[in-house]
A = this chain, B = another copy of it.
Amino acid sequence: MEHLKEKTVKSEKLFNGRVIDLYLEEVELPNGKTSTREIIKHPGAVAVVAITDKGKIVMVRQYRKAMDRILVEIPAGKLENGEKPEVTAIRELQEETGYTCDGVTPLISFYTSPGFADELVHLFVANGLKKDNQKHSLDEDEFVDLVEVTLNEALQMMESKEIYDAKTAYAIQYLQLQQMRK
């Protein structure tokens, strides 16, 4: 595969953020020429497919600054330093929705934007979901509403673009596939 690889000639860190870092890299291409790559480094994230005992999908409605719009997504959050994805998944589910679970099973992991970012999202399915009576505790700059919908309602929300992100679209398609296999 050496005929595809790029060698790093120079790497410059242009921004060191709370969530992301930005690098500008000069690379040597397989043909010997050079080019630049704009690279975002991200700690990675988790997302959780959680289904209530009434068969509803647990989701959160939240404002997303990058798009200046409110989206409905499956519960998710970025990995904290050194934390195992499974632990982050259980914690984020509880913080964002008030649901606890006995554990999570890995569903799939994928890079979200391989062209410019190294963000890897780990999707899990929650097992033994229970509604916690205690108030859930969000991050201090996080504001979300709990939304519980049927698979058909979720499909309608994809039509209306309330649901409009890759991990949630993947999760809903996964649930469609599961339903057809029954």
* Interface, chain A (partner B; CB < 8 A): 1, 3-6, 8, 14-15, 17-20, 22, 24-25, 27, 29-31, 33, 35-42, 45, 61-67, 70-71, 73, 76, 78, 108-119, 121, 140-141, 143-145, 158, 164-170, 173-174, 176-177, 180-181
Q: Return the chain B residue nearest A27 by Cβ.
A: B65
Which B-chain residue is minimally distant from A67 (CB atoms)?
A: B118
Chain B residues lying within 8 Å of A61, measured Cβ to Cβ, are 1, 4
Query: Which residues of chain B have C-beta atoms less than 8 A from A167's C-beta?
Result: 166
A169 touching B108 in the complex, CB below 8 Å, given contacts A14-B15, A15-B14: yes
* CB contact between A166 and one of B37, B38, B112 (< 8 Å): that residue: B112
Q: Which 4 A-B pairs have the closest CB atoms?
A: A35-B141, A166-B166, A37-B65, A17-B38
Closest to A169 in B: B110
Please tell me if the beta carbons of A112 and B169 are within 8 angstroms of each other in the complex.
no
Asked if A114 contacts B73 (CB within 8 A), the reply is yes
Is A111 a contact of B67 with CB atoms below 8 Å? yes
State whether B166 touches A6 (Cβ < 8 A).
Answer: no
User: In the complex the two chains form, what is the Cα distance from A36 to B181 in whole Å?
Assistant: 45
The answer to whether A78 touches B115 (Cβ under 8 A) is yes
